[in-house]
Chains A and B, each alone.
Chain A
Amino acid sequence: MKQKDPDLLLLHAPLLRQGMTTPSAMRDVLYALLPVTAAALWFFGLGALLVLGASIAGAVLTEWLFSVSEKRGESLLDASAILTGLLLGLTLPPGLPMWMAFLGGVVAISLGKVIWGGLGHNLFNPALLGRAFLLATFPIPMTTWTPLRGSESFFHVNASNLALPFMQTQVDVVSSASPLGLMKFEQEVTSLTNLMFGNTLGSLGETSGVLLILGGIYLWIRRDLDWRIPVSIMLTVVVFSGCLTLFDAVRFPSPLFSIFSGGLLLGAIYMATDPVTSPLTPRGTWIFGIGVGVLVVLIRVFGGLPEGVMYAILLMNAATPLIDRYTQPRIFGR
């Protein structure tokens, strides 16, 4: 019989834990985005890798430099900086100069996260903030869509990818308009199969709707994602743009086209669902999703831009604290 007692700790109950941790939730999103990333490489070649790599490098380096935690670099372990970099990269056009992508990553983390106090304290989605910065600063490269590599070798790199910082801000590739641009400015409709499987122009991550949805389903199964947000965004876009189509089918795109074009899927599944910048309460997430959906259609149809997902989400991010305050759940027995 042992006489000596073990040194007893006095941790409070509950002693048990579910096992899911914040870094593993972040990593899940990275895994969910792997197929999309692979597709981007396949469609756009090595140039895509350079853009993604640059934005991730910008994000990670900034996180390391301005780390808010005591030990420098410790906050990298939660994988959120890599995720921000990747998400940002996926919203960029394939022909973007690497230095711009890098700068975007730097801004996403510094202005999008660090100045708010780090992970969990930011009001806006950092990746979208980085993109908003790039769009405002370099409007032309940010809206120049490089063609798919087609029969070119995988190792083909767009010359513009390698442009030197501040030397050349124009992207001089043969560019064409994205499906939304075609729709908006030339009333030309891209085929739905192309939209779904990735044969269209656009930013790196928005080309394959099917892979984006598959990743979303994975996240939903892993319970990392609040299904209410993508579902409410999609439903709102379908209903709202459906009404507009009934009204004038030539000027307004069909609902399915609206869903599969542009960054809507990427935004609805991976950006709007960022837990930090979306509401906590179940009713709040519905309001948030509907708000994003309405704003997307409004901006696309009536705004001067072909693409409205980014601004729609950023605007609703700003409304999140308010939504949370007014949608506290009903308490049991009250």
Chain B
Amino acid sequence: MNTLRSLRRNFDHGVHPAHHKKQTEDLAIQRVPFVSDYVMPLGQHIGVPSQPVVEVGERVNRGQLIAKPGGFVSTALHSPVTGTISEIGDVRGADGVFAPAIQIAADPYATQQLESSAGVDWRSLSLEEFIDAVQMAGIVGMGGAAFPSHVKFSVPDGVQIRHLLINGSECEPYLTNDHRLMVERPEDLLLGAEIVRQTLGAEETVIGVEMNKPDAIEILRRHIQPDQPVRIVPLKVKYPQGAEKMIIKTIFDMEVPAGQLPRDVEVNVNNVGTIVAIADYFLRGLPSIERIVTVSGPGASYPANLIVPLGTPVREVLRFCGGLKDETREVILGGPMMGRPTASLDVPVLKGTSGILAFTEAETARPKEYPCIRCARCLEACPYFLNPSRFARLSRARMYDEMEQYSVMDCVECGCCTFACPSNIPIVQLIRTGKDALRASKENPE
């Protein structure tokens, strides 16, 4: 009966890229050594950039606050190392744009002890105090979006979260950082889940894990305490299973209405890495100063799962993994479906950097683009039931207002349509062009 139900569990459409997880799924997480220089961009989360609270030349300890939240949808930053603030100014990011950042020169002789290793007694905190604590710990969604977590926990009056959903689907190919966390730190994950569940007053915790991680499912099941209302739900392997609205559809068979949030259906969704970060902070006082990064892809010499202090340049992380192969043509930060390419290896690892993937000629060779043959493969791929083919056509014709009428703003840029298109049309890019134009015209209407 249960298996029957789990077979039926699904969201519609989506695609099935090859997993490419074998290279790294059994590699234990290793710690990357400290390097000499760190860059902490002030806007590495979604929302308002943080505001520096340190000055150039000031000495900081590892884990010390260096920037405070710049508003409600913003979060704190902490120093990833003990050292000296060397500069506060603009630094070029992965997208090529200059943005303010705090640079820290590590002290090579420091012990790199945490500023404070005392946990927080979370049981005594009210929901408001908990939300403040999460914000001051700098915790954001670790799945890649880097949306400040405390914002998700703040529900408006009258809304009661009933289900805490922990997203362990990790549907992006190549990435195995969440997988390793579930396998190596199941106690912390379950403790973190209890902290969040009890504080939010939710009835149960559900952990959704794609079935290509049977060891994670097994280990988590073994670690559930009898008094914890936790369910581990194996999910079909399908992209984008990890998209919030898709995993809610799969597990609870509910559609979050367009323009609304999971909390509107009484669910709170968090990534595995986020929950472990919460456990790290409340149990041992470790704010968000490091994250797990998967280094993989055909261009990576020695693929690995790593604990990387935030702000470490990508080049140093790759150096630790034996560098890039000569055939490398592109480096993607994040997953291959939704990640962003980087032009330079000097950009730092950020809170949202789940992977550093190196790709070669085979993945980057783009065959000729053909006209749209209206084959409907993109429609069958789009998990939001949009009409990507029409978006591509309208965007080329610069008919952005028409795109809006066809709900282009509901597109989450998951990439399924481009993945499926036989004519190799850059649909997602065309959609982004349209969305950018629409946003620009909203900001300065003429």
- Residues from chain A with a CB closer than 8 A to the CB of B339 are 13, 15
- Residues from chain B with a CB closer than 8 A to the CB of A221 are none
Q: Is the CB of B422 within 8 A of A15?
A: no
Q: Is the CB of B407 within 8 A of A276?
A: no
* Docked CA distance A15–B406 (Å): 26
Q: Which of B28-36, B37-45, B157-165, B360-368 touches A?
A: B360-368
Residues of chain B in range 147-200 having any CB-CB distance to chain A below 8 Å: 173
Q: Is the CB of B379 within 8 A of A281?
A: yes
Given contacts A14-B428, A332-B385, are A6 and B336 in contact (CB under 8 A)? no
Interface SS of chain B: loop
- Residues from chain B with a CB closer than 8 A to the CB of A285 are 376
Given contacts A9-B341, A15-B364, are A25 and B385 in contact (CB under 8 A)? no
Q: Which of B54-62, B123-131, B201-209, B319-327 touches A?
A: B319-327
Interface string of A57-84 (1 = CB under 8 A from B): 0000000000000000000001000000
Which of A2, A6, A11 sits near B341, CB closer than 8 Å?
A11
Given contacts A22-B370, A120-B371, A333-B257, are A15 and B15 in contact (CB under 8 A)? no
- Residues from chain B with a CB closer than 8 A to the CB of A223 are 377
- Residues from chain A with a CB closer than 8 A to the CB of B374 are 120, 275-276, 278, 280
Q: Which of A161-169, A230-238, A247-255, A323-331 touches B?
A: A323-331
Question: A1 within 8 Å of B by Cβ?
Answer: yes
Question: B122 within 8 Å of A by Cβ?
Answer: no
User: Please, which residue of chain A has its CB at the minimum distance from the CB of B385?
Assistant: A329
Q: Is the CB of A16 within 8 A of B371?
A: no
Q: Is the CB of B323 within 8 A of A280?
A: no
User: Please, which residue of chain B has its CB at the minimum distance from the CB of A320?
Assistant: B374
Q: Is the CB of A275 within 8 A of B424?
A: no
* Docked CA distance A17–B425 (Å): 11
B83 CB, nearest partner CB in chain A, Å? 24
Question: B375 within 8 Å of A by Cβ?
Answer: yes
Given contacts A14-B428, A118-B371, are A334 and B257 in contact (CB under 8 A)? yes
Given contacts A8-B342, A13-B338, are A280 and B387 in contact (CB under 8 A)? yes
Q: Is the CB of A1 within 8 A of B323?
A: yes
Question: B114 within 8 Å of A by Cβ?
Answer: no
* Docked CA distance A22–B373 (Å): 8
Question: A307 within 8 Å of B by Cβ?
Answer: no
A24 CB, nearest partner CB in chain B, Å? 7
* Docked CA distance A276–B370 (Å): 13
* Docked CA distance A275–B344 (Å): 42
Given contacts A24-B422, A328-B387, are A9 and B258 in contact (CB under 8 A)? no
* Docked CA distance A121–B15 (Å): 27
Q: Interface size class for chain A?
A: 35 or more
- Residues from chain B with a CB closer than 8 A to the CB of A78 are 370
Q: Which of B73-81, B98-106, B229-237, B412-420 touches A?
A: B412-420
Question: B429 within 8 Å of A by Cβ?
Answer: yes
* Docked CA distance A56–B200 (Å): 69
* Docked CA distance A20–B259 (Å): 34
- Residues from chain A with a CB closer than 8 A to the CB of B419 are 14, 16-18
Which interface residue of A13, A223, A278, A333 has the most chain B CB atoms within 10 A? A13
Q: Is the CB of A16 within 8 A of B258?
A: no
A26 CB, nearest partner CB in chain B, Å? 9
* Docked CA distance A15–B337 (Å): 6
* Docked CA distance A280–B392 (Å): 14
* Docked CA distance A25–B377 (Å): 12
- Residues from chain B with a CB closer than 8 A to the CB of A206 are none
Interface string of B363-406 (1 = CB under 8 A from A): 11011001111111101000111110110000000000000001
Q: Is the CB of A1 within 8 A of B407?
A: no
Q: Is the CB of A334 within 8 A of B258?
A: yes
Q: Is the CB of A22 within 8 A of B386?
A: no
* Docked CA distance A239–B284 (Å): 72
Which interface residue of B257, B377, B429 has the most chain A CB atoms within 10 A? B377
Q: Is the CB of A275 within 8 A of B258?
A: no
Q: Is the CB of B331 within 8 A of A329?
A: no
B298 CB, nearest partner CB in chain A, Å? 11
List, sorted by A's number, 5 A–B pairs whose CB atoms are closer than 8 Å.
A5-B324, A17-B419, A18-B17, A22-B423, A276-B373
Closest A-B pairs by Cβ, 7 of them: A14-B415, A120-B371, A333-B258, A275-B375, A332-B384, A22-B370, A14-B337
Residues of chain A at the chain B interface (Cβ within 8 Å): 1-2, 5-18, 20-25, 78, 118-121, 223, 226, 275-276, 278, 280-282, 285, 328-334
